[in-house]
Amino acid sequence: MPLKLVVDAVEARLADGWAKCPVVGINLTGNTPKDGSPFVQVSYPVANNEQLTVGAPGQNVYRETGAFRILINWRRGKPIGPGLEWADELAALFRGREFGGIQTFAPGSPVIDDRNDEGNYFALSFAVPYQADILG
């Protein structure tokens, strides 16, 4: 599970920088759009923590490194080019940035889900590595 700082920063950046479709954040549930339109999901599958400094109680630096995953649910049976363009735009929103107390690095290229033959959506996803430092 990521730090709250990370979730708040990522979801605020998506809210401020992405308006092309709905974004479903962490622990939010709901039905897919009734009209089958695309939507984006964000999840936080990897988070590791380490202590960087010692000897200064309350002022020691702790670092979380991890990755969050952006999943674009594109309309199945429709041309995928625009979905890949969305992936490029979303990746650019996070590539090499500092915001909300976190630093992000180079996102991976979109991965195509092997289960795309099932369901109503064609899934494209990519991971964005990050780090965040806190004092404690």
* Distance (Å, whole) CA 94 – CA 19: 15
Task: Convert the pLDDT of each residue in 64-116 to its tens digit.
Answer: 999 999 999 999 889 999 999 999 999 999 999 999 999 999 999 999 877 88
CA distance to 10, 18, 45, 109, 114, per residue, from 14 (Å): 6, 5, 18, 18, 26
Task: Convert the pLDDT of each residue in 3-23 to its tens digit.
Answer: 999 999 999 999 999 999 999
* Distance (Å, whole) CA 80 – CA 76: 9
Give the architecture (CATH level 2) of 4-135. 2-Layer Sandwich (3.30)
